[in-house]
Structure 1
């Protein structure tokens, strides 16, 4: 087991927080995801898809598996079950850029 320096842990924590924010946005928000104005009831989805309870754990595993992939040059697939955790996985693949590679119409900017 290798030690991870604090600077890298800080970056991983920022990534994890960003993934959690994107996950929350997917589950709960239909508008105003960057909170450019105060959050209002009309910004909330009437029907929620996904489940927050499983999401932070899925993103935590994702960021640490990426660390292991980088450190050990691994070929790895993260297999996550269908359903409730979907927004967490989508948030991570969006952040790392894979989603936009496959779906170029969803860029990594405010339009995406």
Structure 2
């Protein structure tokens, strides 16, 4: 069989080098989620960029809300990275059934 026919057959059957589509899709998904976590961190930095950094600084109500949103965004980014690293949902986001499955009782 000539090389042309071998490559054509590999392309039609999605086999051969470079045709591992599920692995490529998972790699693309992981890269997208990592980029999303990076964007969350960037947005959190922009929200708190002009805030005072001294210990006894006074914050306006708007700055306090921005700081709370920035904390939420940073936590979401950390949760995404933990899920990518471990392959499991972070402990504080698990439902009661998932906690019981892993041997941790849900607290009331």
* TM-score, structure 2 normalization: 0.32
Q: Which has the higher helix share?
A: 2
Q: Which has the larger radius of gyration?
A: 2
